[in-house]
Chain A
Amino acid sequence: MEGDSGDGEACPQLELRLGPPGGGGGGGVGGREDLWALKNAACSSKNRHDNPPLVLSFGYFPTPNQYSPGYPSTISPSQHQRVPNSFKESQRSEMQLTDPKGETFSETTAPPTSSQKRTAPAPVVGWPPIRSFRKNISNTSTNQAKQPHPHTALESQNKRNLENEKPLTVKSSAKEKSLFVKINMDGVPIGRKVDLRTFDSYEKLSSAVDQLFRGLLAAQKDSSAGGIQSKEVEEKPITGLLDGREEYTLVYEDYEGDRMLVGDLPWQMFISTVKRLRVLKSSEVSDLTSKLPYKTVLIPCKTIL
């Protein structure tokens, strides 16, 4: 940056140079080998190496991004903690995943038994940044198309929709055969989707979940391992999702928000009531056998993933 050209001029100059660690790292990220140190030279053009009134230390940069090769980088590349790989666009490696359909985000039909939406309260003030009058558009108006729920739609509009054969849900008729549900896994920030209609048994579902998350989980473990770059982070298969004996267990939420172990119901009944899937650490799931005649709420519905 421009700091390199600092000659003592009339206004304060910032001079970039390598400095020893310590003297206050920037931004709370620790464990760095090298630090940029910026000297805020005083207004005089005298010896810059006098003790300046302010010594600033900032974090370093990892290797320059290959996408934009013009950036100067005068320090040796070091692994940045926050990012699993260095900033190389070309390096896709095991990070890239798609779900079985080859698409990570697809249209879905709301399951016919889905009822009122559950809206999570905004966890953060002022986020997302929309004005108050935009916040409740879909709630306050007659939202007949979002949910086929008799309470939210005007009777007459429903009738008219049926007359015109307009679908009450968003999706076009071409996709009526698929049933996408969202699936999240403990420890992986990104959820995926699975089309339940592509499976006909719990075993197939379980194996698909393994496929989906195996690589993502390995990536998360790599990134949280504290900067040790290993391209060959071992991807362990995720097994035992249905029997609770292994590290992870598969649970589902139905349209009422109750959570249950997967595997109770006959498959067809299951896919007609499931709204969402979650892969939880088995230790988090309170101990219950899987043969429950009645639904039981295992955990509060809004855990944070």
Chain B
Amino acid sequence: MAYSFPEEVLEHVFSFLHSDRDRNAVSLVCKSWYEIDRWSRRRVFIGNCYAISPRAVIRRFPEVRSIKIKGKPHFADFNLVPDGWGGYVFPWITAMASSYPWLEEIHLKRMVVTNACLELIAKSFKNFRVLVLSTCEGFSTDGLASIAANCRNLRELDLRDSEVDDLSGHWLSHFPDSYTSLVSLNISCLGSEVSFSALERLVSRCPNLRSLSLNRAVPIDRIACLLRQAPQLVELGTGAYNAELRPDVFSSLSGAFSCLKELRSLSGFWDAVPAYIPAVYSVCSGITSLNLSYTTMQNPDLTKLVSQCPNLQQLWVLDYIEDCGLEAVAASCKDLRELRVFPSDPYEEDEFDIALTERGLVSVSEGCTNLQSVLYFCRQMSNAALISIAQNRPNLTRFRLCIIEPRSPDYLTLQPLDAGFGAIVEHCKGLRRLSLSGLLTDRVFEYIGTHAKKLEMLSVAFAGESDLGLHLVLSGCESLRKLEIRDCPFGDKALLANAEKLETMRSLWMSSCSVSFGACKLLCRRMPRLNVEVIDETSEVAESRPESFTVQKLYIYRSVAGPRLDMPDYVLSMGEESPDLIG
């Protein structure tokens, strides 16, 4: 049947399939479809850089133009993964440098990228267009200079949240005068001042510039002239947004903003002073995305700004917004789809200056019918509130709640929050991502295992009472791909009873739990395609540990590449040959 259509026709048909899952399904139909797919696959997503070797990817997909690779486990964001753990992208770059000369895009997340990597990228890919380094580290501004100097067709350079060794701002001047193709630039994570005149010249000669996220070092009085060069901007991240109020600066800024007819997204606003905020009012009606999570601006100015954005879809803000601000959001921002509220002072014990409670979230859940994604830090929660939220918003797909004090019960009843989270998973049938917090017993895991059938990622901390909790999740959550657990009394039994499940998932992280060394070895023996890595930062030689020793941190992931070869001393792979594993 397959050969009744020429390959070109099938290839054309496949080109309409954009999701990896669909293309993967297509490739399983028959050998010829497998071949057509592999030769025409242009985008590849590697969710775990250690799950497969670069060679294997290149062998299967020889004509890739865009690659996205993720490295460290998610908990690395919170300093739970020690330095030197891994996630090096260099082997991938070297392999691709020789095999993918037409590579256009590299997207990396939580990987170690060195200057050598950046130089290799700059030299090897003639048509290189997009570099996105999300939460990466290991390179300096010298590496950026190589990219700027050599990538003639670069469209996007996005350093979001990466840790860059910021030697100076001079790298920006390495974009040659002939370079005009910039579409998106995000340097918000950089500390140094870039040469402002170089920046201005760059902006003025790139007519396709759509997205510009400056860093804190760009002062407010420089923004206006930048904006005037780029009235076509769709996304803007300001620098520091504070200065003594000067009417000329204000009116210049205000005038510049009013020319930005296409602007949809605003961010930055470090140190924002309320006096300058009205300068952006003219764009508010078109704004769909607002990231005020760096600004210490407070009410009433903060609420006033947000409530002027009736088309807002995405709001990231600090808890300075308070319940009253969120009520205003619920009333004015009817199309809100994503809300993230971060804590302004996460370690402050005396929190009575902040009036953000569960009520704010309940208001938004009532007023914003399109709300799908929530990340909320607060200091108190009740089952009643969670039940309301669940009943109001069954369309939630991502729900991450962090009650700052671990094991906080329902503050009204002192009960665990099992029933509240149970309501969330029961009502929100499309829930894909969930983070738990507060006082939770094994009961909550029963609810999750029973109801959360679409759940793909679950984060658990300071919860549960026994292995039953973990067992319920592993045995019940059919779609589970990523599970990360810290400080829970989960141990060997649940893990070993659900060994096969682990191969259906991308990864499992467990730290400060009760898993024994012996169980890790047993698991590894039973499941040859799982990499079981024990992280042990104490100084003793890890192999000499007794079977009963409780491992500090455990990272298990499926892989067809076998145990990795770049582990530091403190990571022990259970798959290595060792006498007691034989027989």
A45 CB-CB contact with B under 8 Å: no
Residues of A within 8 A of B346 (CB): 122, 128, 130, 135
Q: Are B466 and A59 in contact (CB under 8 A)?
A: yes
Q: Are B347 and A119 in contact (CB under 8 A)?
A: yes
Candidates A2, A62, A67; contact of B476 at CB < 8 Å:
A2
Residues of A within 8 A of B416 (CB): 82-83, 87
Q: How far is the CB of A238 from chain B (nearest CB, A)?
A: 18
Residue of A nearest to B404 (CB): A128
Q: How far is the CB of B247 from chain A (nearest CB, A)?
A: 13
Q: Are A126 and B486 in contact (CB under 8 A)?
A: yes
Q: Are B413 and A96 in contact (CB under 8 A)?
A: yes
A270 CB-CB contact with B under 8 Å: no
Give the interface size class of chain A: 35 or more
Total inter-chain residue pairs, C-beta < 8 Å: 225
| Interface locus among A106-114, A229-237, A282-290, A292-300 | A106-114
| Interface locus among A136-144, A201-209, A243-251 | A136-144
Residues of A within 8 A of B468 (CB): 26-27, 36, 58-59
Q: How far is the CB of A19 from chain B (nearest CB, A)?
A: 14
Q: Are A27 and B489 in contact (CB under 8 A)?
A: yes
Residue of A nearest to B418 (CB): A87
B406 CB-CB contact with A under 8 Å: yes
Candidates B296, B352, B413, B414; contact of A137 at CB < 8 Å:
B296
Q: Are A56 and B500 in contact (CB under 8 A)?
A: no
Q: Are A26 and B493 in contact (CB under 8 A)?
A: yes
| Interface locus among B140-148, B197-205, B269-277 | B269-277
Q: Are A119 and B348 in contact (CB under 8 A)?
A: yes
**Quick one: CB contact mask for A3-34 with B, threshold 8 Å, 1 for yes?**
10000000110100000000011111100000
Candidates B274, B380, B475, B500; contact of A105 at CB < 8 Å:
B380
Residues of A within 8 A of B71 (CB): none
- With contact pairs A54-B496, A129-B402 given, residues A61 and B350 touching in the complex (Cβ less than 8 Å): no
A36–B414 Cα distance when bound, in Å, is 27
Q: How far is the CB of A101 from chain B (nearest CB, A)?
A: 13
**Quick one: CB contact mask for B483-501 with A, threshold 8 Å, 1 for yes?**
0001101110100110010
- With contact pairs A2-B476, A59-B468, A137-B318 given, residues A92 and B413 touching in the complex (Cβ less than 8 Å): yes
A75–B47 Cα distance when bound, in Å, is 43
Residue of B nearest to A81 (CB): B465
Q: Are B402 and A170 in contact (CB under 8 A)?
A: no
B372 CB-CB contact with A under 8 Å: no
Residues of B within 8 A of A3 (CB): 475
Q: Are A87 and B443 in contact (CB under 8 A)?
A: yes
Residues of B within 8 A of A142 (CB): 242, 271, 296
Residues of B within 8 A of A117 (CB): 345, 348, 350
A245–B562 Cα distance when bound, in Å, is 68
Q: Are B345 and A160 in contact (CB under 8 A)?
A: no
Q: Are A1 and B271 in contact (CB under 8 A)?
A: no
- With contact pairs A26-B468, A117-B348 given, residues A54 and B296 touching in the complex (Cβ less than 8 Å): no
- With contact pairs A89-B419, A138-B296, A157-B273 given, residues A127 and B461 touching in the complex (Cβ less than 8 Å): yes
Residues of B within 8 A of A190 (CB): 408-409, 411, 414
B293 CB-CB contact with A under 8 Å: yes
Q: Are A166 and B274 in contact (CB under 8 A)?
A: yes
Residues of A within 8 A of B161 (CB): 131, 133
A132 CB-CB contact with B under 8 Å: yes
A276 CB-CB contact with B under 8 Å: yes
Residues of B within 8 A of A108 (CB): 352-353
B244 CB-CB contact with A under 8 Å: yes
A207–B423 Cα distance when bound, in Å, is 39
Q: Are B426 and A121 in contact (CB under 8 A)?
A: no
Q: Are B406 and A87 in contact (CB under 8 A)?
A: no
Residues of B within 8 A of A193 (CB): 352
Residues of A within 8 A of B409 (CB): 189-190
Q: Are A160 and B77 in contact (CB under 8 A)?
A: no
B442 CB-CB contact with A under 8 Å: yes
Q: Are A121 and B347 in contact (CB under 8 A)?
A: yes
A residues near B (Cβ < 8 Å) are 1-3, 11-12, 14, 24-29, 36, 38, 40, 54, 56-59, 61-62, 65, 67-68, 71, 80, 82-85, 87, 89, 92, 95-96, 104-108, 110, 117-122, 124-135, 137-138, 141-143, 145-146, 154, 156-157, 160, 164, 166, 169-172, 180-182, 189-190, 193, 216, 219, 275-276
Known: A82-B441, A104-B412. 8 other contacts (CB 8 A): A27-B442, A27-B467, A27-B490, A27-B491, A27-B514, A95-B415, A119-B348, A146-B298
26 A-B pairs whose Cβ atoms sit less than 8 Å apart in the complex: A1-B475, A2-B476, A27-B442, A57-B493, A58-B466, A58-B467, A58-B471, A59-B466, A83-B415, A84-B415, A104-B411, A105-B357, A106-B355, A118-B350, A119-B345, A119-B349, A127-B406, A128-B346, A128-B377, A128-B404, A130-B78, A138-B345, A141-B270, A145-B298, A171-B355, A193-B352
